[in-house]
A and B are shown apart, each in its own frame.
Chain A
């Protein structure tokens, strides 16, 4: 079973067939070029089915993101570790029309906490195409640090390493120090 998580504005939940039209629209657009797209509808369907399959096989995976206020499916984010990936990563993608609201950062930060607090992981990365400026901004906003280039199944990516829970603790004690 896929656990349901919440952030301020988003519900992180399982994928549903009713999410597919927006997903297919995304994969019909050039915006999907950093996610092995664009592609036709049948190919998009197979990509869509990969997410629940990842959960079934590995016990973790990406969530569908639902805008709490409207119930609209706006994207995906979660833990992702396909065959040949350098390390488990946090992935995110926003559907067409859902960008510019900070949803990717909001969801990915929740996924990051899930990885550390619920899964008990101690490290997690994101592989990002060097040209994907929007995703690099998200990673940077989350406090991830670029460690250079890494080979992954689709070529070469920038490896961003996310802040570990210890980093969060250090930052909050540093903040507490400032306030004192």
Chain B
């Protein structure tokens, strides 16, 4: 299986590594920050989710990556294509840790992922689920050019469906691949 490293102007999207777990667990424990993702997680729940993110790549050939700030090497969140068994197309998702918000990183990471999804996997315009009250993420989607396509009940919650546009620009510099 090949997991890609995707680079954009300020970010490097790369597979999760063990060293990323503490920050992931700290973020996952925060119920308020995860109110649109099912609430806070215990440490073992965070571990299982962390592993499942890493494992989805080998099952699906697409997945979610750690978002690393190129300048500092710090991991500021995660973004990518989440594709569980009960959804019929992958979802473009993003989550940033507290200190990495307000810099446009979600938009930059999501756009880089869109370009990769199209160029490396030939995927059509992507979808994002969105809680109606998640105004920050809805703004990111709109900044990306996505439009509200409809709504559904997903795992018991009223959920909006945003449809993204086909990305235009190529990722710069060229993507690397690691085995």
Interface residues of B in 1-59 (CB under 8 A from A): 3, 15-18, 21, 25, 42-44, 46-59
Q: Which of B16, B42, B155 contacts A57 (CB 8 A)?
A: B16
Using an 8 Å CB-CB cutoff, how does the interface string of B124-156 with A read, 1 for contact, 0 for none?
000000000000000000000000000000010
Q: How many chain B residues have a CB neighbour from A under 8 Å?
A: 30
Contact, CB under 8 Å: A84 / B43 = yes
Complex CA gap A83/B22 in Å reads 10
Contact, CB under 8 Å: A56 / B84 = no
Contact, CB under 8 Å: A53 / B86 = no
Contact, CB under 8 Å: A42 / B54 = no
Q: State the B residues within 8 Å of A (CB).
A: 3, 15-18, 21, 25, 42-44, 46-60, 84-86, 155, 179
Contact, CB under 8 Å: B54 / A45 = no
With A49-B56, A54-B51 as contacts: A82 and B44 at CB distance below 8 Å: yes
Using an 8 Å CB-CB cutoff, how does the interface string of A147-168 with B read, 1 for contact, 0 for none?
0000001100000000000000
Interface residues of A in 8-63 (CB under 8 A from B): 14-15, 17, 20, 24, 41-42, 44-58
Complex CA gap A41/B85 in Å reads 8
Contact, CB under 8 Å: B52 / A56 = no
List chain A residues, Cβ under 8 A from B51. Answer: 49-51, 53-54, 57, 82
